[in-house]
Structure 1
Amino acid sequence: MKRFYTLLFPFLFTLILIPVETLQAQIDREAGNLISTRSEVIAQRGMVATSQPLATQVGLEILRNGGNAIDAAIGANAAMGLMEPTGNGIGGDLFAIIWHAESQQLYALNASGRSPRGLSYERLMKILEEKGENSIPAYDLLSVSVPGAVDGWFEMHERFGSVDMSDILSEPIWYAENGFPVSEAISAAWRRSVPFLKTQPGAFEETFTIDGEGPEKGEVFRNPDLGNTFRLLAEQGRDAFYRGEIARKIDIWMKENNGYLRYEDFDKHESEWVEPQTVNYRGYDVYQVGGNVQGTAVLQILNILEGFDLSETGFGTTETLHLMIEAKKLAFEDRAKHYADPAFHDVPYDKLLSKEYAAERRELIGDRARRDLTTGVEVLEDGDTIYMTTADEEGNMVSLIQSNFRGMGTGFVVPGTGFSFQNRGELFSLDPNHPNVYAPGKRPFHTIIPGFLMKDGKPIMAFGNMGGGYQPIGHVSILTNIVDFGMNVQQAGDAFRWEHSGSTQPTDALSDKLTDTGQVSIESGVSFEVVQALRQMGHDVQIGDSFFGRFQAIMRDHEKGVYFGASESRVDGQAAGY
């Protein structure tokens, strides 16, 4: 024992002499990084980041075999629908922002589906009255809109793809037919969903369970029906889904089960290339998809925050968190009143995204949590999703998000197809005066948003996170962590997160407004002193007990000629390059 203390004393004496900050850095990580749990991934020729490592490898394989970032995004997304059906699949919708290196332009794609053309508002309201419902139920055939993801793939491929779709889908087909080991977080979500969804009409149980249960971690799962659907797409193109065998199967099944989608809804479906919405934040151009999706909220929050010196107030401080929470509340009241299908409603971007309007809204932020907010523009949540991003040697970059909405969607599976329908139709308002009110052939409000960052005309970062209504907060957090607080791309996602719920929703009545402070949830990395100070300012704060999303990102360093990749460290994700 004496010899032990003799050996220990010099070490303890050394610790006393080392500054605490240095000691923490040396003990915690070799790189001296106290925020991040892993290093960035760095590569020159290509990068893929998804929330399932095998799907990441599918994308990388496509890049290695001569495909570009667009091809890799399609292949990886197909693999994700197979491997993470708890968040996405071809029964859902898709949005993407693409930097095309050859044309040196940024493109945005809205590949979301529309409500049944044969279901009128009046008939919908009568059906809801008969069911005793005052909103569109999540797990009902009323919530099913046309799946837009497959059309999104073919739109992207037709415009920018470089290899055959049969090559892109070959690995997803192999995994569907031969199986893949289910990863940990996905298994947990899958097993939670099965007990309820296997009671839905259709082929959910035979498609998505093993002996009636969700697959365990590491268990090999196969979906040959989805593999067959992928084969039809590879051989016959988009028409197999929207005008051929798959559309006919869906039409028959819907009629037999009192559903509302028809062959005509698929035949007339089309995606839309749209002009991305943008604002400049401290010299960086931030891009989002607008219209019937909440990306505009990211831009509104940033406009408001730009009037405060966040680098001075600091990351994770009481003042910074208060400003961010209040800015979110302000933007979400506009989100609840104005974001809707632009084919049915003229979204007032000129006002919502103006710096003048941001200054007006900023004046509403005081030193207490507000509880009395609505939109400042006159009017004439929980969801599971996947976010992924790809980049290639030519400089193409893809920011893509895809979703079933509620986890595995509705659970309605047409026998032989291998996928579950989304329940996006749940997100229509029933207020006849609301811009987001239900109408036949209309796209509902969406929560899923891809993000893109540029500076001086050059692409800097494709980024995003899943997580329902949390997503705008996540985007703002990632961007401010990088721009204001100097974090690298992995640190930006690993830093502790916050969430605010209780804002007015796009499904509410037009007259509704925020009438209390809502609920603030913060991950456990925040200090107790900050929590107490926020509570003293009137915020209702809890630690954890919320969902804070999952992120991926790829950043391009033009000077060094490399990509920096990052992926969610809390669950199964992987960024990989070559």
Structure 2
Amino acid sequence: MRDLQQPGRSVVHATNGAAATSHPFSTLAAMEILQAGGNAVDAAVAACAVQCVVEPMSTGIGGDCFVLLQKGAQGPVIGLNGSGHAPAKLTAEHLLDQGIGQIGLESPHAVTVPGAVDAWCRLLGDHGTMGIDRVLHRAIRYAEEGFAVTPRISVDWSRNVGRLSGNENSAAQYLKDGGSPVPGDVWRSPELARTLKAIASRGRDGFYAGPVAEDIVAALNALGAVHDAGDFEAQRCDYVEPIASDYAGRQVLEIPPNGQGITALLMLNILKGFDLGAYDPMSVERLHIEAEATRLAFAERDKHVADPRQVDVPVEHLLSDALADELREKISLGRAMANPAKVTGPVYRDTVYLTVVDRDLNAVSFINSLYFSFGSCITAPQSGVLLQNRGAGFVVDPGHPNCVAPRKRPMHTIIPGMVLNGGRCELSFGVMGGGYQPVGHAHLLTNLFDYGMDVQEAIDCPRTFHVAGKLDVERSVPDTVRQGLADLGHDVNTPEMPWGGAQAIFIDHRKGTLAAGSDPRKDGCAMGY
């Protein structure tokens, strides 16, 4: 239990249902749906839709989503891959002929077809109890009538004024007098409200066919993209079988590639060969081991993870004990590795992760993202759809598994997590924050199972991330530990912003209660009833 004389948050305990998101309006929307008789799936989609309005830099209907779902604390966990594909006419040769060797963050070629709305509709139709019209009600209201901007959202918005200014439509719809809102300002998004109403009325056809899709395609084509109506019509989410690895007597589940969840499992496989519990959670030893496992696991990710519909991804090899043993042998407790592999790709801290568990113990682990902050910063003018830049995750190298190709999905960073104990969901969790997410998963789970923290303590615990050749260490890590890491050879750096934002719900089947936590690094909260 936390020291009640110190700042902090208590765990939220409940019996009938709980939700944890990175925005209070989103959590409230989920609770409204649960108390109105909806299930966890209905509540999760409602909560995410609200975040697409009130956290426009982190997520949107122009992005993608992944979901893990266990119904009634029994049976197989359902995985849903709601990531979008590249347009049918986009090839590496097309880009190379134009002198494009890397897809830029604001390039129209970075815009993959959004997968989120299709996934929401599929999830509700197959597993929800309410229609899309009901669950979008609160999001439409915030977009139409306005919402008060919260502090972290204001900071993230202000950091992107320059990028938004580069697109006329984005500047018109996401800036006011050339600037961003400050905390307490009321913000409205009337164009987005109209599009949400179209989706509420027509379902997925309200987005992937007709005026909205036409508006998006026209906006992209005007910038030199090769999207067409067929690309939107063809977008379909896929049910996938989760991949898993054992840790601390439990089964940790992730979405398979093209997601990077396999990186988190590889990290855990490396870490379980160490007695982490013998070290203090804020010790040099623990953070050093975690940093080295990060570098090793990410090197494997960057070599192999891609769209399995088009390339062979060696999942069995990546999850094997043999590989984990081989990589673990490279870690020295006395010195950081020389010439380490660097985490590649754009470094960003956006995305929204949320989790909901209802009274019937339907557990939903749900993540939705535009990739970089405000995605591509390309907005369709009539529909108000801000488009993701997930295609920047492709490489333009015909020999690489993750090379851009027609209707191919890029390597994806967003990963929902779930932990089973005896076949039943014990923990629904996620850690948003771009490339950091696998590290966040491993850090959170080792906090829980190696150090006995509760969900809120595990979320609050200071974080480090070895990225771009440096070891980012949050300011809350003691100076003596920072120096100890530097003495081992790590290039220690203090990040400008914290890493990630986590949400988690622990299901205590013995007591029949839920314990929910939410990250203080964001504006959100956990609630239950």
TM-score, normalised with respect to structure 2: 0.96
Q: What is the CA–CA distance in structure 2 between the aligned matches of 1:251 and 1:315, rounded to whole Å?
A: 50
Q: What is the CA–CA distance in structure 2 between the aligned matches of 1:440 and 1:71, rounded to whole Å?
A: 33
Q: Does 1:574 align with 2:525?
A: yes
Q: What is the CA–CA distance in structure 2 between the aligned matches of 1:536 and 1:546, rounded to whole Å?
A: 24
Check conservation: 2:219, 2:379, Cα contact below 8 A.
Answer: no
Match of residue 57 from structure 2: 86
Q: What is the CA–CA distance in structure 2 between the aligned matches of 1:193 and 1:350, rounded to whole Å?
A: 40
**DSSP 3-state at the match of 1:389:** strand
Q: Which of 25, 32, 40 pairs up with 1:54?
A: 25
Match of residue 206 from structure 1: 172
Match of residue 245 from structure 2: 279
| One-letter amino acid of the counterpart of residue 40, structure 1 | V
Change (3 A) 1:524 1:254: closer
Q: Which of 426, 443, 454 pairs up with 2:420?
A: 454
Q: Does 1:562 align with 2:513?
A: yes
| One-letter amino acid of the counterpart of residue 457, structure 1 | G
Q: What is the CA–CA distance in structure 2 between the aligned matches of 1:284 and 1:321, rounded to whole Å?
A: 23
Counterparts of 1:248-267 in structure 2, within 5 Å, are: 248-267=214-233
Q: What is the CA–CA distance in structure 2 between the aligned matches of 1:168 and 1:396, rounded to whole Å?
A: 17
Q: Which of 107, 117, 120 pairs up with 1:153?
A: 120
Measured against aligned partners, the alpha-carbon deviations of 1:100-128 in whole angstroms (never above 9, x if no partner) come to 1286321111100111101222111112x
**DSSP 3-state at the match of 1:563:** strand
| One-letter amino acid of the counterpart of residue 230, structure 1 | L
Q: How far off is 1:444 after superposition?
A: 0.8
Q: What is the CA–CA distance in structure 1 between the aligned matches of 2:383 and 2:304, rounded to whole Å?
A: 36
Check conservation: 1:41, 1:566, Cα contact below 8 A.
Answer: yes
Measured against aligned partners, the alpha-carbon deviations of 1:166-191 in whole angstroms (never above 9, x if no partner) come to 11111111111111101111012112
Larger Rg: 1
Match of residue 493 from structure 2: 542
Q: Does 1:117 align with 2:88?
A: yes
Check conservation: 1:229, 1:417, Cα contact below 8 A.
Answer: yes
Q: What is the CA–CA distance in structure 2 between the aligned matches of 1:193 and 1:236, rounded to whole Å?
A: 33
Check conservation: 1:429, 1:438, Cα contact below 8 A.
Answer: yes
Match of residue 464 from structure 2: 498
Change (3 A) 1:158 1:396: same
Change (3 A) 1:60 1:371: same
Q: What is the CA–CA distance in structure 2 between the aligned matches of 1:481 and 1:539, rounded to whole Å?
A: 22
Q: Does 1:484 align with 2:444?
A: no
Measured against aligned partners, the alpha-carbon deviations of 1:401-434 in whole angstroms (never above 9, x if no partner) come to 1111111111211112122101111111122111
**DSSP 3-state at the match of 1:405:** coil
Q: Does 1:74 align with 2:45?
A: yes
Q: Does 1:429 align with 2:378?
A: no
Q: What is the CA–CA distance in structure 1 between the aligned matches of 2:523 and 2:478, rounded to whole Å?
A: 27
Change (3 A) 1:497 1:409: same
Counterparts of 1:9-28 in structure 2, within 5 Å, are: none
Q: What is the CA–CA distance in structure 1 between the aligned matches of 2:264 and 2:328, rounded to whole Å?
A: 15
| One-letter amino acid of the counterpart of residue 189, structure 2 | N
Q: Does 1:170 align with 2:148?
A: no
Match of residue 430 from structure 2: 464
Q: What is the CA–CA distance in structure 1 between the aligned matches of 2:184 and 2:156, rounded to whole Å?
A: 14
Q: What is the CA–CA distance in structure 2 between the aligned matches of 1:289 and 1:422, rounded to whole Å?
A: 20
Check conservation: 1:95, 1:402, Cα contact below 8 A.
Answer: yes
Check conservation: 1:197, 1:410, Cα contact below 8 A.
Answer: no
| One-letter amino acid of the counterpart of residue 22, structure 2 | S
Measured against aligned partners, the alpha-carbon deviations of 1:442-497 in whole angstroms (never above 9, x if no partner) come to 10111111111111111111111111111111111100000000000000010111
Q: What is the CA–CA distance in structure 2 between the aligned matches of 1:368 and 1:322, rounded to whole Å?
A: 9
Q: Which of 374, 382, 403 pairs up with 1:416?
A: 382
Match of residue 4 from structure 1: none
| One-letter amino acid of the counterpart of residue 43, structure 2 | A
Q: How far off is 1:290 after superposition?
A: 1.8
Which shifted more, 533-542 or 84-93?
533-542
Check conservation: 1:93, 1:403, Cα contact below 8 A.
Answer: yes
**DSSP 3-state at the match of 1:153:** helix
Check conservation: 2:267, 2:297, Cα contact below 8 A.
Answer: yes
Q: What is the CA–CA distance in structure 2 between the aligned matches of 1:317 and 1:353, rounded to whole Å?
A: 28
When the two chains are superposed, the root-mean-square deviation of aligned CA atoms in Å is 1.8
Change (3 A) 1:229 1:563: same
Measured against aligned partners, the alpha-carbon deviations of 1:308-361 in whole angstroms (never above 9, x if no partner) come to 111112312122112111111111110010000001112111111011221121
Match of residue 198 from structure 2: 232
Change (3 A) 1:102 1:357: closer
Aligned residue pairs total: 524
Q: What is the CA–CA distance in structure 2 between the aligned matches of 1:369 and 1:52, rounded to whole Å?
A: 38
| One-letter amino acid of the counterpart of residue 354, structure 2 | M
Match of residue 157 from structure 2: 190
Q: How far off is 1:213 after superposition?
A: 2.2
Match of residue 473 from structure 1: 439
**DSSP 3-state at the match of 1:438:** coil
Q: How far off is 1:248 after superposition?
A: 2.1
**DSSP 3-state at the match of 1:565:** strand
| One-letter amino acid of the counterpart of residue 55, structure 1 | S
Measured against aligned partners, the alpha-carbon deviations of 1:122-155 in whole angstroms (never above 9, x if no partner) come to 111112x1xxx53111111111110111011011
Change (3 A) 1:120 1:356: closer
Q: What is the CA–CA distance in structure 1 between the aligned matches of 2:379 and 2:497, rounded to whole Å?
A: 30
Check conservation: 1:86, 1:408, Cα contact below 8 A.
Answer: yes
Match of residue 295 from structure 2: 329
Match of residue 328 from structure 2: 362
TM-score, normalised with respect to structure 1: 0.88
Q: What is the CA–CA distance in structure 1 between the aligned matches of 2:256 and 2:13, rounded to whole Å?
A: 31
Q: What is the CA–CA distance in structure 1 between the aligned matches of 2:406 and 2:507, rounded to whole Å?
A: 42
Q: How far off is 1:570 after superposition?
A: 2.4
Q: Which of 34, 39, 49 pairs up with 2:10?
A: 39
Match of residue 101 from structure 2: 134
Change (3 A) 1:270 1:344: same
| One-letter amino acid of the counterpart of residue 264, structure 2 | V
Q: How far off is 1:546 after superposition?
A: 5.2
